[in-house]
Copies of this chain bind each other. A is one copy, B any other.
Amino acid sequence: MTARAARADAVDRRRDLIAATVRSIAEHGFADATVERICAAAGVSRGLISHYFAGKDDLLLATYRQLTDELGAETARVARARGGGPVDKLRAAIEASFRPPVFDFAKVSVWVAFWSEARTRPDLRALNRDLYRGYRAAIARLMAEAARERGIALDAHGAAVALTALIDGLWLEWSLDPDAFSPEIAETVCLDYLDGLFVPRAEDDNPGQEDASDVP
């Protein structure tokens, strides 16, 4: 009946299975991304998963790890390529969050699915916590540096929390209703928030926030 899948290199096959996992979760949801469906999407049979992963959980963990690695690498790459000051780097990070290859409907959908799953699965939870603490710390460092440059009082930690949450919230809501707003609006909204932090105010120089350490 079905053609037997051609032999493949171990690293290629792993990548195929991870990509198939992303597609399956995005299309059918986390619970209905069964081993059967994932392997069918990868064009191989059910049993092959045991040859490349310890089990389904291991495949899911590897999938999440690839997403986090890709996000981290891409934002670091873009920020480094941009050069310029801290605000330029922050703008680059925002733009990377709403453009390919990071911003992709299937990938964003999988992020949402993993967020939900990470609430109760300890391994995903730990992975997610480390990722976000590092991400927020990096953002906060840039925020503090930018505020120092411009002589503006700013709660760098709070601003980092807000920017991260804003990006994630936009990902979340866009994945649930892509017609509600465009990726361009999402990006603009984040850039405007960033600008608003560093534009001097007319009446008051100190908007009631204090400087804080940038690492929790």
Interface of A (DSSP majority class): helix
Contact of A180 with B133 in the complex, beta carbons under 8 Å = yes
Q: Which of B113, B203, B207 contacts A116 (CB 8 A)?
A: B113
Taken together, the copies of this chain in the complex come to 2
Chain B residues, Cβ within 8 Å of A29? 116-117, 119-121
A29-B119, A32-B120, A202-B200 in contact; A170/B177 too (CB < 8 A)? no
Interface string of A1-35 (1 = CB under 8 A from B): 00000000000000000000000000111111000
Contact of B113 with A193 in the complex, beta carbons under 8 Å = no
- The answer to the question of A45 belonging to the interface, with a C-beta cut-off of 8 Å to chain B, is no
Interface size class of chain A, counting residues whose CB lies under 8 Å from the partner chain: 35 or more
- The answer to the question of A89 belonging to the interface, with a C-beta cut-off of 8 Å to chain B, is no
State which residues 152-171 of A face B: CB under 8 Å: 157-159, 161-162, 164-170
Contact of B120 with A189 in the complex, beta carbons under 8 Å = no
Q: Which of B112, B121, B136, B195 contacts A119 (CB 8 A)?
A: B112
- The answer to the question of A118 belonging to the interface, with a C-beta cut-off of 8 Å to chain B, is yes
Q: How far is the CA of A125 from the CA of B173 in the complex (A)?
A: 11
